[in-house]
């Protein structure tokens, strides 16, 4: 373990422990910072908040577009993390700014509704509808409706993985998925979940609390809409970029998912950062390698955008 991580964990572990048996979700949300830090690419993108009309509801979103670039751009529809309970697009500002600039695309970050006020499946339904809205409003947003990707960190990675699986059967067809430390399975039995349970920022107890707050008890935890790792049909899912951290309880689930995708013939770029923890990509001031992870993900995304989409006849459409 390097000195940067050791100092960060020492600071975090010196704080009073959270009693999750008594934790009020709304109070926890209100105590959480809007964002961790300023990113390296803030001055390189234009950022504007927009409103999205869904069925019987309105939600907001944050749109990022690189400065000094014109024309119709590809788009990444992004979902922030926070265990389905906390967070807003501001929490992942630095990541979305970096992806927009480095991949030369528009990023639309969705402010989906949160549990416990809106438990599963509300947030996921918001994600589905928001993706559809982006597709149908491509002209107004000046984006290419044939080059749409999804992405997210942590809980947002869960939504992105579910949407990627669903896009084989519904419009729009997606060209790529960017999964950053994704929540892919309801379960805590992997080696990483056991080894890094305590003292590494995200614990099994915290993740269990998030699940209990988000997911009503009567739902089948193995449903791929909840646990995309449990999906039996992964053939023809869009290509994936998966970023993980060495000391993350979610690491092994992400690696297992990457292997399952590869076995189904899906191109996967997987990279695990050593001496790092869950969601380190949100904290470039604490973890200098955060920018390296953003550049890695952006390069994979940019490459995916360069591949022509598949037509209804199964052929590539070259412009």
Q: What is the pLDDT of residue 311?
A: 45
Q: What is the pLDDT of residue 40?
A: 82
Tell me what the mean pLDDT of segment 210-232 comes to: 96
- Say if residue 310's pLDDT is above 70: no
Q: Enumerate the active-site residues.
A: 154, 248, 278
Reading the block at residue 8, the tokens are 């960060």
Over pLDDT 70: what percentage of the chain? 95
Tell me what the mean pLDDT of segment 276-303 comes to: 95
CATH of domain 3-306: 3.40.50.1820
pLDDT band at 308 (very low <50, low <70, confident <90, very high): low
pLDDT digits (tens, 9 = 90+) for 4-35: 888 888 888 888 788 888 888 888 888 777 66
Least confident range of 23-32, 79-88, 107-116, 162-171: 23-32
Tell me what the mean pLDDT of segment 90-117 comes to: 96
**What residues have CB less than 8 Å from 172, skipping those under 6 apart?**
131, 132, 135, 145, 148
Domain spans, the chain: 3-306
- Say if residue 37's pLDDT is above 50: yes
* Residue 251 neighbours by CB distance under 10 Å: 23
DSSP per-residue letters across 87-107? --GGGGHHHHHHHHHHHTSEE
CA dist., res. 44 & res. 102, Å (int): 10
CA within 13 Å, CB half, 39? 28
Tell me what the mean pLDDT of segment 62-74 comes to: 92
Per-chain mean pLDDT for the chain: 92
């Amino acid at each position: 373990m390097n000195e940067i991580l050791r100092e960060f964990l020492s600071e975090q572990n010196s704080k009073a422990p959270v009693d999750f048996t008594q934790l009020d979700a709304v109070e926890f949300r209100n105590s959480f910072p809007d964002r961790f830090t300023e990113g390296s690419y803030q001055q390189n993108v234009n950022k504007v908040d927009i409103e999205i009309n869904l069925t019987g509801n309105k939600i907001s979103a944050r749109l990022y577009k690189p400065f000094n670039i014109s024309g119709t751009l590809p788009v990444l529809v992004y979902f922030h993390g926070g265990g389905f309970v906390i967070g807003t697009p501001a929490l992942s500002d630095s990541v979305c700014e970096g992806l927009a600039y480095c991949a030369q695309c528009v990023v639309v970050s969705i402010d989906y509704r949160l549990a416990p006020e809106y438990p599963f499946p509300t947030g996921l339904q918001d994600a589905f509808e928001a993706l559809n809205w982006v597709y149908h409003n491509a002209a107004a947003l000046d984006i290419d409706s044939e080059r749409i990707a999804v992405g997210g960190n942590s809980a947002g990675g869960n939504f992105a993985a579910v949407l990627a699986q669903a896009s084989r059967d519904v419009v729009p067809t997606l060209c790529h998925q960017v999964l950053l430390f994704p929540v892919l399975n309801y379960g805590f039995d992997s080696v990483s979940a056991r080894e890094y349970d305590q003292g590494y920022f995200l614990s099994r107890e915290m993740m269990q609390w998030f699940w209990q707050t988000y997911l009503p008890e009567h739902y089948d935890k193995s449903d791929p809409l909840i646990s995309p790792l449990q999906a039996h049909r992964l053939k023809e899912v869009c290509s994936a970029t998966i970023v993980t951290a060495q000391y993350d309880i979610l690491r092994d689930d992400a690696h297992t998912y990457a292997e399952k995708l590869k076995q189904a013939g899906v191109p996967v770029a997987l990279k695990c950062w050593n001496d790092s923890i869950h969601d380190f990509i949100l904290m470039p001031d604490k973890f200098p390698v955060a920018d390296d992870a953003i550049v890695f993900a952006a390069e994979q995304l940019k490459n995916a955008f360069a591949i022509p989409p598949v037509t209804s006849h199964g052929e590539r459409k070259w412009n």
